[in-house]
Chains A and B, each alone.
Chain A
Amino acid sequence: MSEPLLEAEGLRKSFSGVAALVDGRFRLRAGSVHALCGGNGAGKSTFLKILMGIHARDAGEVRLRGRPVAFSSPSEALAAGISIIEQELSPVPAMTVAENIYLGREPIGRFGRVDFENMNIAAAALLERLRFVLAPTDLMMDLSVAEVQLVEIAKALSYDSDVIIMDEPTSALGEHEADHLFQAISALKAEGKGIVYVSHRLSEIFDIADDYTVFRDGRFVEAGDLADVSKDRLVQLIVGRKLSEEFVKENVPRDEIALSVEGLASRNGVRDVAFEARRGEILGFYGLMGSGRTEIFERLFGLAHEHAGEIRIGGEKVMLRSPADAISAGLAFVTEDRKGSGLVLTEDVRANICLARLGALGFGPVMSRRREADAAERMIAMFDIKTASDRLGVVNLSGGNQQKVVLGKWFLTEPRILLLDEPTRGVDVGAKREIYRIMSDFAAAGGTVLLVSSEVDEVLGMADRVVVMRDGRMAGTISGADMNAQNLLHLAT
């Protein structure tokens, strides 16, 4: 076997005496895509941060083309030919796409002026090659999260590095954009580059990766050829033991209609949306980015400025002009952006769980610490939230546990209708299953779930019927035997 492009052995790192990484090992071949797998807290992020020179390692060795290296900053790593697409996006909002891509290495023209013309031309060529539909002169602040992620990807690829680390690059992308990324990855592979691919979406890994390495609890567990491993086996390696079915679905729709919507309209050209959801039902919403799925939820939850359309809950017409209206009508909304609109990151677990139900946790305007603590304790137990205490800041929790805090916040309001917008994004395999279990139990108990997801498998695995959106309108509703990936994608594009 030829010399590996990048090799790491025995990497070790502790924070304040607590080990985050005990034995990090990795071998990346040139011209391959190598999936780095593990649950939240497995040590992947720490490992990547050591590679990029963000953290200093306590022990171990990293070799790039056989030569030992130790970077002390990301710019050193970049100079040596390692670039990263980070999970957390960090755009400069007031600058253009091209300026963001070439940030810190702008082409200089005469008199030290930035050569905007050539920069825009280079950026356009890069975007064209990647088949990303973005104009170099668009301002970052006008872009959606998915488009910002595409720019980050373009930026990382523009360095022409030999090793490209992709940390959850598709977390904000729809199927369509993700396909463009995968094509770009194939091209890079053909050029002999090495790609380290981190994703919680296993189907993606099996689609594009060649090799795998699994970390668990900060330790290297196993590495090998993906062709030699089954999905079940890989999940077992990641979680540490066997999981049964991937999806949990035990709910059965009843006859009673819980929610009916007619003539709904909202921003982004969402028009003429009409559907019914029954008690005990999980109704899926599928569509490409910008097709209007999230806007429907915002309208239902009183967050939209437009109020066109008729909404009935349990047969009664309701006006939902604010989230407070929606909450008292029995709705709960787990938003797509956990950190942006789900959690108050400056606060602890207890405060976040109680946030939507403060009125019932005190006596008039005065809060009762006892009731707040009891409520938090109940939700922590109900969702098995892994936290040292309910007074711990939510920033300290893993993605899956943070998502469960958001779910706890909403279950405390005793909702009848649950709006879930990408509820498993950035959540590891184990926590995903728990969220599926929560959804299924809620529906089985007579609740109604509206589920927006970009993952075809998830929609097909969890929903009883699927509303497919295209360009702000309903392209169709599929159910029963028609529920397959082909029909979904056909209607959505």
Chain B
Amino acid sequence: MSSVVEKEREPVVGEKTKRRATSAAQRWGILIALVVVCVALSLLNEYFLTTRNILNVLRQTAINGILAIGLTFVILARGIDLSVGSVVALAGVVAASLATTSSTAMVAGGPYPVVLALAAGLLVGAAAGAVNGVVVARFSVPAFVATLGMLSIARGLTLLYVDGRPVPALTPEFRWIGTGDVLGVPMPVVIFGLVFLVSWWVLSQTRFGRHVYAAGGNPHAATVSGIDVTRIRLLVFVISGALAGLAGMMLAARTGSALPQAGVAYELDAIAAVVIGGTSLAGGVGRVTGTLIGALLIGVVNNGLDLMGVESYYQLVIKGMLIVAAVMLDQSRNKRE
């Protein structure tokens, strides 16, 4: 086909041309921030760069990181999931009730094989996510409201299930996912790594990943292009719920007992990691690599403040400022260009 408009030139539109460049700059920017913080901490504290401490940071980051990766799916598809903290507790107590040697367990005949307990935890998480997904995708309830409801419902169910008491005395097999290691690498870090790799692959290499980006970027265009946006919305909540379930079991396994109060406010750090990682709350833009770096940055800062003996109340203030500053920096860059 011959061109009729050889002379047509690309329009030069300032802010638009920069949009992609900025997201790249921000991605690197956050990586640079992570490196700078690491270098600074290693200078300030000789203990920081030891293998033991690094594994410690990674282990502490694992749970928030897994929640944040689940949230990345949801946020990319233009949603939000506030219920992950409560689902952590619910999946934790359900799995623990099948993996406890305690005689006061709510499920008789235990402990059951660890595979069964793990499957139950994942299933409970996925089910909570599915409920979120159905309410959001089929009944058009805003995700903020639907998952705010689930935040309360899942917490209530947790407390009801265990009558407000912890589930103690978990079997060593179950505890292995929180305390074991593979070739010296703690299990939580191994699981976090696997979750990251699979999620990266799903989002960047599969058709489902393309659908998630399209459904979040422009649901109308995605629908017209034959994509079942309702199904995609449902599935991202299921993924987020299942990953929250996994995180809940890892938390219970690490501490040796499942607490009904576990995971309170965990959704906030997870959302923070996603946002710091450059994923847009408006949907369609972001990467799971960014989320990984965001989660690591939060973990490193927490660890550094611990090492320097900063009081935990100050830590909260500093973390909050970090979140806002990261996004502010990004916004001002957008505006300037």
**Interface positions of A (Cβ within 8 A of B):** 14-16, 18-20, 39-41, 45-46, 216-218, 239-241, 243, 301, 303, 322-324, 326-327, 333, 335, 337, 340-348, 351, 354-356, 358-359, 362, 365-367, 382-384, 386-388, 392-393, 395-398, 400, 409, 428, 430-431, 433-434, 437-438, 441
Contact = CB atoms under 8 A, between A and B. Distances in A.
Contacts of A243: 4
A367 B12 contact: no
Interface of B: 1-5, 7-14, 16-17, 19-20, 205-211, 213-214, 216-218, 220-228, 280, 283-285, 337
A384 B224 contact: no
A409 B217 contact: no
A337 B283 CA distance: 20
A388 to B, nearest CB: 7
Q: Which 4 A-B pairs have the closest CB atoms?
A: A430-B5, A346-B284, A346-B217, A341-B220
Contact of A342 (B7, B10, B209, B224): B224
20 contacts: A45-B13, A303-B224, A324-B226, A341-B220, A344-B217, A345-B217, A345-B218, A346-B218, A346-B284, A346-B285, A347-B213, A347-B217, A355-B210, A384-B3, A386-B10, A388-B10, A393-B19, A393-B20, A395-B13, A409-B225
A18 B3 CA distance: 24
A262 B20 CA distance: 47
Interface of A is mostly: mixed
Contacts of B216: 346
Given A41-B10, A342-B224, A345-B217, 4 more contacts: A217-B9, A326-B226, A337-B220, A431-B8
Nearest to A19: B12
Nearest to B224: A341
Nearest to A218: B9
B211 to A, nearest CB: 7
Contact of A398 (B8, B206, B211, B280): B8
B271 to A, nearest CB: 20
Among B8, B206, B209, find the residue whose CB has the most chain A CB atoms closer than 10 A. B8
Nearest to A384: B3
B206 A367 contact: yes
A402 to B, nearest CB: 11
Nearest to A46: B12
B20 A356 contact: no
A340 to B, nearest CB: 6
B337 to A, nearest CB: 8
A324 B11 contact: no
Contact of A341 (B20, B206, B221, B280): B221
A396 B13 contact: yes
Nearest to B208: A365
A285 B211 CA distance: 33
Given A301-B224, A355-B214, A365-B208, A16 B17 contact: yes
Contacts of A326: 226
A41 B285 contact: no
A301 B208 CA distance: 23
A452 B147 CA distance: 42
A438 B2 CA distance: 11
A387 B11 CA distance: 11
Contact of A430 (B8, B14, B20, B218): B8
Contact of B14 (A15, A40, A388, A437): A15
Contacts of A14: 12
Contact of B221 (A344, A365, A383, A428): A344
